[in-house]
């Protein structure tokens, strides 16, 4: 038909194969090609039915997401898929959709425009559009409730989670599961129904339910979205669109869907979430480490230190089926570590996330040890001992002798210099940082820290490994705090300054939660332990520039033993269930300290709180980018979204700055510099881009073109 759609015949059945690698997205030409093949089939008296199937690894992953950017920027205005799908559904002869891999978004909408659907048992189907800030736009919200009922359709369209082919079959979305050869099974199925009259999904209404049933479903769904998907536009729009299916004839329902789809597509939220989709994939691309770089095997791993992080890291590996040797200094420490791992798993079993037998198998894969004897055959060792250059160097020298040549030696340090650590070994090319985030078995981010001598093979191995571990690996350079924590410093500094200038502790946190962050900066400090930063600051105090304002409140709280949740008191006070409440003592103390330091007190607005904390992130991010410690602004965004609870619908700090407009951000930072001094010196890159009227996203593109 065209080079994206192939047609062959199997006796009396036409087989239409979509061949648009890598995921058969419905790029321009694909739906048109399918339709042309169906038209041709209808004209051929020798043919009784058609099968539509995907070449390669999947059926159809949806509309081509790249097209959306072209549509919103006015480069191309692609017509809706809807009329093409209506014409497919109008085929006089049956069209059977044969699904393997995934039928997502427009892929499922295409499948529902067919008269029947068959699938491999391993396939998945879903309407994940809300994850991109949009809703199904080709009849999905109208056809899905007609096939599976309103409640499940609302769940799938507003929640975005896919369902397995087996579940889809039980819901009535798939007519037959086919074990073995899908194409052959689909052709046989098509032949078996060829003589029956075709049934169009859009003509069905038996599953749409009564008005009263529907009202209850929509009310509950809206309530749940407002609670769980705070501030998101698309899930509510998806519910509105499904509601239209229950109240309006099909064509009018489709018009409502189209209007809501367009509103969502042109929203800042959708642009941000589409940026996140592509950036998550972009971070895997490292200009000087091409994807053909050979990766080393990682089949056996050792973890040194069974504390908070080491225990979590061991769980990450065994959850991926990789056996772990777990070492600590003495039996007591090791047992404490193992017990923590067991407690964590027990909670997962209680919550229904894992079965007991799954957990038992994972625990079998952990071999607790006190010596390095079992390290000789591991492919990689991850160190997670106390933070401090001296203990890290000792451990790395020991690992260098204990592990075979070529084995990767990784440090989980959050602040220390990887090159200095590598210097304690005879193999700096095999040394790098793998900075997991706490809790390691939950947080998706893995900062992979490249040392001066780290080899490309080692980087490629860890980037690929991160995917196997269910993590998103982002390559960063070796500077203090790497990317995430280096930016977190100024962010938390401003939060403290604001309290020292008169803002309430809760007001600072609330303003940032209202902005969309998962937690406020002060509550986050209490969770992680205020003493962690206090110890680090004491170690680096000699590097502070005299005369430059430094926050003092957290250090003073630590001096009073207020370390946060672990001591039941920090910025807040905590009850035995770790529920926080405001502590008037903190307010009194900070006001007193501020008066002693001569800091004038004033009313501070929520918008000033947000500007100061968020622009502190952006300004430091711009420096990191220009200094080359992050490869792209998009990498910084992915770090903040996956490691620091930044709201995905704002796309990450750098994308957010682009959305506000860099000239505006730059101007505000200049104002803050006038008010607060040199800590607010604008990053040179930010200044340059603002003056040139460019964005960080454009800077990324320029850098990519130059690479």
**Alpha carbons 627 and 642: distance in angstroms, whole number:** 22
Residue 429 beta carbon to ligand NAI: minimum distance, rounded to whole angstroms: 22
Position 580 contacts ligand NAI (CB under 6 A): no
Q: Which of 32, 89, 109, 243 is catalytic?
A: 109
Closest to 383 measured CA to CA, from 318, 460, 301, 323:
301
Q: Does 62 bind ligand 3HC (CB under 6 A)?
A: yes
Closest distance to ligand 3HC from the beta carbon of 144 (Å) = 11
Q: What are φ and ψ of residue 177, in 5° steps? A: -90, 140
**Is residue 309 near ligand NAI by the rule CB under 6 A?**
yes
Q: Do 62 and 26 meet the contact criterion of CB atoms below 8 Å apart? A: yes
Alpha helices (H) along 175-267:
182-193, 211-228, 234-247, 250-265
Read off the DSSP letter of residue 25: -
Indicate the DSSP class of residue 397.
H
Q: State the number of CA atoms in the 13 A half-sphere of 15 facing the CB.
A: 18
Minimum distance, C-beta of residue 384 to ligand NAI, in the bound complex (Å): 4
Q: Are 78 and 66 in contact (CB under 8 A)?
A: no
Sheet strands side by side (includes 124-126): 102-104, 124-126, 163-164
What string marks each residue from 196 to 235 as x (binds ligand NAI by CB under 6 A) or -?
Answer: ----------------------------------------
* Residue of 296, 271, 293 lying closest to 284 (CA atoms): 293
Binding partner of 648, given ligand 3HC, ligand NAI, none, CB within 5-8 angstroms per partner class = none
| 3-class SS string, 130-199 | HHHCCCCCCCHHHHHHHHHCHHHHHHHHHHCCCEEHHHHHHHCCCCEECCCCHHHHHHHHHHHHCCCCCC
- Pick the catalytic residue from 32, 67, 89, 129: 129
Q: Does residue 468 belong to the site contacting ligand 3HC (CB under 6 A)?
A: no
The answer to whether 527 contacts ligand NAI (rule: CB under 6 A) is: no
Alpha-carbon span 278 to 281, nearest angstrom: 5
Residue closer to ligand 3HC, measured from CB, 124 or 434: 124
Question: Reduced to 3 states, what is the DSSP secondary structure of residue 646?
Answer: coil
| Binding flags for ligand NAI, 387-426, as an x/- string (CB under 6 A) | x---x---x----------------xxx------------
Comparison of 73 and 371: residue with beta carbon closer to ligand 3HC: 73
Size of site (CB under 6 A) for ligand 3HC: 25
- Single out the residue of 15, 16, 54, 109 in contact with ligand 3HC (rule: CB under 6 A): 109
132's contact among ligand NAI, ligand 3HC, none, with CB below 5 to 8 A by partner kind, is: ligand 3HC
Nearer to ligand NAI, 384 or 613 (CB): 384
* Catalytic-residue membership of 678: no
Q: Does 307 bind ligand NAI (CB under 6 A)?
A: yes
Measured CA to CA, the distance from residue 294 to residue 271 in angstroms comes to 35
Q: Using alpha carbons only, what angle is made at residue 213 by residues 212 and 219, rounded to the nearest 5 degrees?
A: 90
Q: In what order do the strands lie in the sheet with 431-436?
A: 366-369, 324-327, 301-304, 380-383, 408-411, 431-436, 445-449, 472-476
Is 387 designated active site? no
The yes or no reply on residue 328 touching ligand NAI (CB under 6 A) is: yes
Q: Is residue 114 close enough to count as binding ligand 3HC by CB under 6 A?
A: no
With contacts defined by CB under 6 A, name the span among 61-69, 148-156, 354-362, 699-707 that binds ligand 3HC.
61-69
Q: Does 431 bind ligand 3HC (CB under 6 A)?
A: no
Binding mask 66-105 for ligand 3HC (x = CB under 6 A): x--------------x--------------------x-xx
Q: C-alpha angle with apex 198: 196 to 202, nearest 5 degrees? A: 150
Read off the DSSP letter of residue 289.
B
Site for ligand 3HC in 271-310 (CB under 6 A): 278, 281
161 binds ligand 3HC (CB under 6 A): no
Give residues in contact with ligand 3HC (CB under 6 A).
22-23, 25, 58, 61-66, 81, 102, 104-106, 109, 128-129, 132, 136-138, 140, 278, 281
Give residues in contact with ligand NAI (CB under 6 A).
304-310, 327-329, 333, 337, 384-387, 391, 395, 412-414, 437-438, 528
Q: Which residues are catalytic?
A: 109, 129
């Amino acid at each position: 038909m065209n080079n994206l759609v192939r047609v062959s015949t199997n006796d009396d059945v036409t087989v239409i194969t979509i061949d648009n690698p890598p995921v058969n997205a419905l790029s321009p030409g694909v739906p048109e090609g399918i339709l042309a093949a169906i038209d041709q089939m209808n004209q051929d008296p020798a043919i009784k039915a058609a099968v539509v199937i995907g070449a390669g690894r999947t059926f159809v992953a949806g509309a081509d997401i790249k097209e959306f950017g072209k549509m919103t920027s006015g480069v191309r205005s692609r017509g809706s898929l809807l009329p093409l799908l209506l014409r497919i559904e109008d085929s006089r002869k049956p069209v059977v959709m044969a699904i393997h891999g995934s039928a997502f978004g427009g892929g499922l909408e295409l499948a529902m425009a067919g008269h029947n659907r068959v699938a491999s048992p391993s396939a998945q189907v879903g309407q994940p559009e809300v994850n991109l800030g949009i809703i199904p736009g080709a009849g999905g919200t109208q056809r899905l409730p007609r096939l599976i009922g309103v409640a499940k359709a609302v769940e799938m369209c507003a929640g975005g989670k896919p369902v397995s082919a087996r579940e889809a079959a039980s819901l009535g979305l798939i007519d037959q599961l086919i074990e073995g050869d899908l194409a052959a099974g689909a052709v046989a199925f098509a032949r078996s129904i060829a003589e029956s009259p075709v049934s169009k999904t859009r003509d069905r209404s038996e599953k749409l339910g009564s008005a009263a049933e529907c009202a209850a479903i929509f009310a509950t769904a809206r309530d749940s979205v407002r609670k769980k998907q705070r501030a998101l536009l698309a899930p509510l729009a998806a519910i509105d669109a499904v509601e239209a299916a229950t109240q309006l004839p099909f064509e009018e329902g489709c018009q409502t869907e189209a209007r809501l789809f367009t509103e969502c597509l042109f929203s800042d939220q959708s642009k941000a979430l589409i940026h996140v989709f592509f950036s998550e994939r972009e971070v895997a691309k490292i200009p000087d480490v091409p994807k053909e770089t050979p990766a080393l095997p990682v089949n056996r791993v050792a973890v040194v230190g069974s504390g908070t992080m080491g225990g979590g890291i061991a769980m990450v590996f065994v959850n991926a089926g990789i056996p772990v040797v777990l070492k600590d200094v003495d039996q007591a420490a090791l047992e404490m570590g193992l017990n923590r791992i067991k407690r964590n798993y027990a909670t997962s079993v209680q919550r229904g996330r894992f079965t007991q037998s799954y957990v038992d198998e994972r625990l079998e894969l952990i071999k607790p040890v006190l010596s390095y004897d079992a390290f000789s055959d591991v492919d990689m060792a991850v160190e997670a001992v106390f933070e401090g250059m001296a203990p890290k160097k000792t451990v790395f020298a020991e690992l260098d002798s204990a592990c075979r040549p070529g084995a990767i030696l990784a440090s989980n340090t959050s602040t220390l210099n990887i090159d200095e650590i590598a210097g304690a070994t005879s193999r700096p090319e095999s040394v790098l940082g793998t900075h997991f985030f706490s809790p390691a078995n939950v947080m998706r981010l893995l900062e992979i820290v490249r040392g001066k001598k780290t080899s490309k093979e080692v980087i490629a191995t860890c980037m690929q490994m991160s995917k196997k571990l269910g993590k998103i690996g982002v390559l960063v350079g070796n500077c203090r705090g790497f990317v995430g924590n280096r930016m977190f410093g100024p962010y938390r500094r401003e939060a403290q300054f604001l309290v020292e200038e008169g803002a309430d502790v809760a007001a600072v946190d609330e303003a940032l939660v209202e902005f969309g962050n998962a937690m406020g900066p002060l509550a986050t400090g209490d969770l992680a332990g205020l003493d962690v930063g206090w110890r680090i600051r004491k170690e680096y105090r000699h590097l502070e520039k005299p005369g430059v304002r430094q926050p003092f409140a957290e250090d003073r709280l630590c001096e009073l033993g207020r370390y946060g949740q672990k001591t039941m008191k920090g910025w807040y006070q905590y009850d035995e269930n770790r529920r926080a409440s405001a502590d008037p003592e903190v307010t009194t103390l900070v006001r007193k300290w501020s008066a002693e330091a001569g800091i004038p007190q004033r009313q501070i607005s929520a918008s000033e709180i947000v500007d100061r904390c968020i622009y502190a992130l952006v300004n430091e991010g711009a420096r990191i980018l220009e200094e080359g410690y992050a490869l792209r602004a998009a990498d910084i965004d992915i770090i903040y979204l996956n490691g620091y609870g930044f709201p995905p619908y704002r796309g990450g700090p750098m994308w957010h700055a682009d959305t506000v407009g860099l000239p505006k951000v730059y101007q505000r930072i200049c104002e803050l510099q006038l008010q607060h001094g040199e800590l607010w010196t604008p990053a040179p890159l930010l200044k340059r881009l603002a003056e040139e009227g460019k964005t960080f996203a454009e800077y990324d593109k320029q850098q990519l073109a130059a690479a």
